[in-house]
Structure 1
Amino acid sequence: MKASKIAYKPVGLALGALSGMVASGLFKQAWKVLGHDEDAPDATDEDRGWSEVLLAATLQGAIFAGVKAAVGRAGAAATRRLTGTWPG
């Protein structure tokens, strides 16, 4: 394994945690904007319908994936600027 890849591991983990926090906040705000309750439904929430549960899960997945990709790409680009090598 390349040294740059090993050195990037802790950075990648920190960026992953940061992206999770950012994505969580974005999802909560998006759910409020859509006019739904304060909290998104869980799959086992008996009082919520299929469409609401699936909409929440789809929106949450899309936001988390988008934020993770953006933060990961930005981290890799910053690593290249600093070290001259791509971490992957």
Structure 2
Amino acid sequence: MEGVVLCSRVVGRGRRGVQAGVVNGCAPLVVKHGEMIEDAMKTQRLATADLLIAAREQGARRFCDIEYAVLEADGTLSFFPYEGDAGAPEKPASG
């Protein structure tokens, strides 16, 4: 299983400027270098069809053009394409 998780921390302040609470949210990585991380998807109960639909809705033409995708704390998916027009790196020829 991939051990990569993106984390964020939000600090809230009350009326008196005192820290009212801390909210930690971790966004699990569900796509890495154009390939689904099936263990993470299973853990998050994310269907392949839902991932593909969300990618199309956010303008991804080819799945291999997505460098990373994370499942946000609110249930939405965020996609990060490769920088520029390079797309996914070529796989080395076998043999």
Per the normalisation by structure 1, the TM-score is 0.31
Structure richer in strand, relative to its length: 2
Q: Which structure carries more relative contact order (alpha carbon 8 Å, separation 6+)? A: 1
Which structure has more helix as a fraction of its residues? 1
